[in-house]
Structure 1
Amino acid sequence: MDKKLTKSPFSVAMGAAFMMAMAAVGPGFLTQTATFTGQLGADFGFAILICILVDIVVQLNIWRIIIVSGKRAQVLANEIVPGLGYLLTVLIVVGGFFFNIGNVGGAGLGLNVLFGISPENGAVIAAVVAIIIFIVKNALTVVDRTVQLLAVVKVAVLIYIIAVTTVPYQSAIVHTFAPSKIDFYSIVTIVGGTVGGYISFSGGHRLLEGGVRGKENIKYVNEGALTGIGVASVIRVMLFLAGLAVVLAGNKLDPSNPAASIFKIAAGQFGYKFFGILLLAAGMTSTIGSSFTSISFLDYSEKAKGDSSIAKWRSIAVVLFIVASTAVFYVVGSPAKVLVVVGAINGLILPIALAILLLASTRSKIMGRGYKHPKWLLVTGWLVVLFMAYAGIRTILLLV
């Protein structure tokens, strides 16, 4: 991978933005959004609104703290409490691995819908393509271009589906701001699937990999984080509106594949093929994002990227990560329910990870002399920690 900053900070920030957004918009994202739209109807709009607000606070905090300190999240955690970084690594990598099983499986299912290939063989093909993307020369540039192209594909597919459905905009708006029911499980799950677990750090770690660090680059942190949140949120809202149109028309979504139901009911077999394209794109982008970010948590070096002791082994580690998750999918099959549950688990990890970085932001020894973390980010950050911890506890009580 690239060993020094060969592109402008803005270009790297946009790469990080799409890395984060497309890591979030995976098969789990599609499954969760469709599942809760089917269960909650227009009230799910409130959960999406809370998710977007939480996303903004989480990403602006985490990206800024990582870039100003110039250190990866696990290194920061170790500086707060020795050994804490290793615990964080375990939580992130294990969560990322389970999500990646669903990611490669989703890409395989996409190929199954499009070409009739078995999901297992489709997953192998998708995994091989992802591996090639990672091992080619200038891999980070190829990764950036790939996720940006696939983002355009996702948005184009959803624009088509919304165009052929009658979207109940008034109901969606009313219930988004005045829900008749608040479901904490849905909030924890979609927040976890958007900025929980490894996804929280995908953008910040991508910026470090691109050589962007230091408080002089805060401008690019803000631009990248807000762009990434915007892209992921637009896709979430579009899928919600398409699903709501189908549900309020009196249709029932297939619980085994609720996202596919939306497209098939809305546009027949043609729509189902479009879903295949969306699922393939979602699986590929999330496989890339999950693998890149999870493996970045194995690097505890505080040196410049080019001198990192793990740099020469990273490509091998990424390949092994993708191969292992593909092998599990091949043996076990599609973990549709696991995608929702892992989203909830990532939502539970979020308050722990965010609290660690907020503590780091107040240490001048870590952040550097002369830096003061914005008070509004600190306050809202701790409010998110408390809210997600509370919502997480409510969710655990419901599940048990």
Structure 2
Amino acid sequence: MAHPEYSAARNLLSGTKLAALLRAQHVVTVKDNASVDQTLRVLAAHRILSAPVVVGEVAPPADKAPEVCGFIDIRDLLSSFLQELDLKSLADAKMLKRMRILEEQGARFAGKSIRDLRSLGSDGWFFPRAAAEKASLREIIYDGFLHHKEAKHVVFGGTRSRQVVHRLALFDTSGQLSHVISQSDVIKYLYDHIEELGALGDASIDAIGFVKGAVISVRPETPALDAMVLMEEKGISAVAVVNAEGAIIGNFSISELRTIMAEHFGSLALPVGEFLALEHGTEYAGYAIPSTGSSPRASPSEELRGFEDSQAHKFAADRNMRRRDSHPGYEVGQTLITCSPEATLHEVLDKIVANRLHRVYVCSETLVPCGVVTLTDILHKLVDA
């Protein structure tokens, strides 16, 4: 049954054509014969997570567009790398040995052609531009992002099935790709027209149903590689990093890996807290610093045992006490944007758009996560209610 408070949102989406979102843009593509290394460098150079793949064997005539095969994204590449590994042997190895193995495997993996990878999906969908421009935003969200049919025309890869996609590519009558529209673009449009969402914009995140009590998380001493395996098993693109008290101190996500190169894969052996700190240009020792009144936390590896009794720990603990009022995420170099269950949808959209986020964690007063609001969650609520 349709919820009456969603009627204004439904009217906005049904009354808006996709053409209203289109702006001139340059579409970055990757050739299907590109290596993993080349693909990672293209994505990192443009700071994007995904790109359409075009056939690269033979240069097409000037008057003919290249054939589009599908999309390639960071998650596909990392999933394929995981399948190259003997995870059981890695789990039994000490950190430095794991790092060396990952570096060696990463060097070999870098030279592979993306067309030969084991795990490929299509985190994108393709529309003729003329038809897409005439479609309502609701139709694009429902049939494009959330409930698209199996991509029978996509010939690239195919071992990963995507129930939801995060971007749509538009092609003109000559087959040239003209635009890539993402879920973020749609969310930005909704935010710019927040007054047209009616009462829904003022509804709390709790009332809308985003507070579910369970958020998949890892401890900061968990190896980054293990966090990646967990995300792959759960079919999610992020996990919360929480301390011994369950408070969130970081976010480990595919977005955090958008600039990773194959030669950096050895760093995935690091504890996830240290990995995030390294990515953000800071240092992290929080996994060994107990908060006041708590028992010491376990060190992530044998190399770090005994740290709790050292002068270095005393210095780090003192620094931690002096910085305890800092913003959430400071321990790993992040600025975490969170919200309370009482926050309104308007407030959450403001946080997402202003900070270019893909998710906002819903937390208690003690920063224990009790829900997460993703772009996909918001779009589902708006079109499926």
Report TM bin, short chain: under 0.3
Task: Considering Cα pairs closer than 8 Å and 6+ residues apart, tell me whether 1 or 2 has the greater RCO.
Answer: 1
The TM-score normalised by the length of structure 2 is 0.23
Structure with the bigger percentage of strand: 2
Structure with the bigger percentage of helix: 1
The TM-score normalised by the length of structure 1 is 0.22
